[in-house]
Amino acid sequence: MWTWTRAALFGLAAGGLLPSAAHAAEQLWTCGMHPQIIKKEPGNCPICGMKLTPIRANIAGGTPSGERKIKGYRSTMNPGEVSEKPGKDSMGMDMVPVYEGGDGSSSSVQIDAATIQRMNLKTEPVERGPVRREIRAVGTVAYNEQGLRDITTKYEGWIEKLHVNATWTTVQTGDPLFEIYSPDLYNAQINYLVARQSEGSDGGPLTRAALARLQLFDVSKDFIEEVVRGGEPKRTYLFRAPTAGVVIEKMAIEGQMMKPGERIYRLANLSSVWVLTQIYESDLPFVRQGQDVSVRTTYGTERTFAGKVDLLLPQVEEQTRTVAARLVLENTDGFLRPGMFVDVRFASQLADAAVLVPDVAVLRSGERNTVFVALEGGSFEPREVKLGARSEGNFYEVLNGLNQGERVVTSGQFMLDSESQLREAIAKMLRGEGGGAPAAPAVGGHEGHAAMTETPPTEASDPALLTPLAFATADAAAALATDDLAGYAEKLPPLRESLASYLKGDPHAAHGPLGKFSGGLATPADLEAARRAFIPFSTAVADLARAGHLHHTAGLHIFECSMAPGRWVQRTAELRNPFYGSAMSTCGTKIDAAPVPSAQATAAPSAHMPAAHAGAHASAAAPQLQVARLLRDHLGRDISASAIVAADTGASMTDAEFLDYIHRSTTVRVGNGTCEGCGMTAAEMAAGAECAHTK
């Protein structure tokens, strides 16, 4: 079933109001940064000054005639989900076919070879390959805690001589460290000798007990044999190094008394060291415990050491959002010294074969990632893709949206994106997609706010009737601008009186934009309700005041706010937004120029619409109004203003009624208070009677 816009355009073409096929191909020009700017001749954008670019002839996304070959299938819910075979998408919906020679999307762009060269468009094929990633981090060499050893005694004594009397001394296993005198050790020797003498060399229970006590003091076997051979106890005991290492701490000096368990030295074995590094939270999927790593030195001749990830801490640092990793390296020659900085590299492969797309080909917009796929015949299709992990060489894994062998644009895609969005917007307006009003072109506004739709042409009213209403509306707006609900309520009675006088004095006003406010604005319960009701009323009054040039003759000032959106009048030139009050008092833009008048200054009033369709004012973005503007502004046709005014003030018609009304509106004129088509007087029009030519 055709939408009314397609039927309307078809009917207008049949009636001679649309250009011929040759005329329809007329070259139009637009701005890549402001797609709402459309001109019939080349030049510069009036907003940003950039050169206008041509709009290609395929803005409506035409479909080739004849039998077409299916090249794939696409999800209607997720355009980035494609398949080579028919089936259902991830949401359970049937996938629709995509034909060769047309991508099924109005946003596709077709460009000739010469323009492609001038735009410097470059493409690269989508390839399949492994997803590899190398993560680099800075590491610090540290002692391997498993190689640390404290030197202590299990008996009390006094240090009589230190053989190692300085830190950072390298010792080997068995090297003498210190000599100590201990009364406990001396008595143990005597007890052992007495037991041997009493029980003989074979020994008995006393001998075995005395020997066990000596052994519990960790004295060496050689020392015990030397005592037995000498037959006398040794006054001091020479303590030797139990392991090789470097003395990193020395707590004793000669003559010092040492208690059992008190540290005398700390040795560190540097044949194996740790490397401590930090892994960012986003890189954790690429690092695992037991993974091989490569460590490179950062000074002197570069050396590379192989190691493994010994531990990943199960906690993320809140301040740095990193996880500490501990590596173990062999350091047999002692080249790595604790405290050194090293370059750590983790190499990981997440997938053996995946679809890869260059990073430069992806256009990122919030949560959406889009690429342009080059098709045959100079066509380029915007396609949403789902990306996975980043791979080496500035490639990304593609989880959905692309297939191997397709070519994507890697240079100039921003120009394609601008062109694509423009064509999609125009095509949606022509199709009337979604059953609602087409999106109106955006215009410049204050930064950060959605742009307002273009002010529809409004017939000028009698200034004597409109001026009191405009000033009463300005007083009400001033109260809302200061968040004064009580003051706003005080302004409503004079505002209702001015509105009643205006509607009574103008016989056509009841069918205009203020017709639905004939009962006046109700007294609101709160500011939110007051502003919600005031916005459409204020906008209608501001448009009438602007059409009547009251901001030039009566000293009023007209402003618009794209956030509301709406317009209002003020007595003063200082901007005070009534729609947001003190929260956003300076939100808005002053309007200096009057709106563009209709092509016919005395167009047929809206009362001449069929009575069944007269009523409340329709949305400013009504579909009929959009088609009339498109034909008038974009395609260069001067459609009667009656058609535009009818669409703006009348609301809904059927397709046939709107087409018939447009044809008849080209001959309807009003002169001397009567309709030239049927002779109806102004009084009869005001009463709502139907004129003869509309029956």
Please write the tens of the pLDDT for every residue from 588-626: 888 865 444 433 333 333 333 333 333 333 333 344 445
| Residue 323 near residue 316 (C-beta atoms within 8 A) | yes
Question: Could you tell me if 225 and 162 lie in one domain?
Answer: yes
pLDDT greater than 70 at residue 546:
yes
Cα–Cα distance between 530 and 579 in angstroms, integer?
Answer: 9
Please say which residue of 560, 591, 622 terminates a domain: 591
Question: Could you tell me if 561 and 632 lie in one domain?
Answer: no
Categorize the per-residue pLDDT at 684 as very low, low, confident or very high, splitting at 50, 70 and 90. low
Could you tell me the residue range of the domain that residue 473 belongs to?
463-591
pLDDT greater than 80 at residue 428:
no
Pick from 4-8, 474-478, 585-589 the range whose average pLDDT is largest: 474-478
Question: Could you tell me if 196 and 234 lie in one domain?
Answer: yes
pLDDT computed for residue 26 by the predictor:
65
pLDDT computed for residue 429 by the predictor:
53
Question: Could you tell me if 582 and 685 lie in one domain?
Answer: no
CA pseudo-torsion sign 189, 191, 194, 198: negative
Question: Could you tell me if 552 and 623 lie in one domain?
Answer: no
The total number of structural domains in the chain stands at 3
Categorize the per-residue pLDDT at 182 as very low, low, confident or very high, splitting at 50, 70 and 90. very high
Element holding 533 (H helix, E strand): helix 527-547
Average pLDDT over residues 678-693: 54
pLDDT greater than 70 at residue 438:
no
pTM equals 0.44
Please say which residue of 268, 285, 304 terminates a domain: 268
Categorize the per-residue pLDDT at 562 as very low, low, confident or very high, splitting at 50, 70 and 90. confident
Pick from 15-29, 80-94, 103-117, 285-299 the range whose average pLDDT is largest: 285-299
- The Cα-based distances of 660 to 2, 478, 614, 652, 665 in angstroms read 17, 45, 16, 14, 8
Cα–Cα distance between 173 and 155 in angstroms, integer?
Answer: 22
pLDDT computed for residue 558 by the predictor:
92
- More confident site: 658 or 323: 323
pLDDT tens per residue across span 488-539: 999 999 998 888 888 888 777 777 788 888 888 888 889 989 998 999 999 9
Indicate whether 114 belongs to any domain: no
- More confident site: 449 or 440: 449
Cα–Cα distance between 467 and 624 in angstroms, integer?
Answer: 31
Please say which residue of 245, 268, 291 terminates a domain: 268
Indicate whether 35 belongs to any domain: no
pLDDT computed for residue 442 by the predictor:
36
Categorize the per-residue pLDDT at 60 as very low, low, confident or very high, splitting at 50, 70 and 90. very low
Question: Could you tell me if 523 and 633 lie in one domain?
Answer: no
Indicate whether 122 belongs to any domain: no
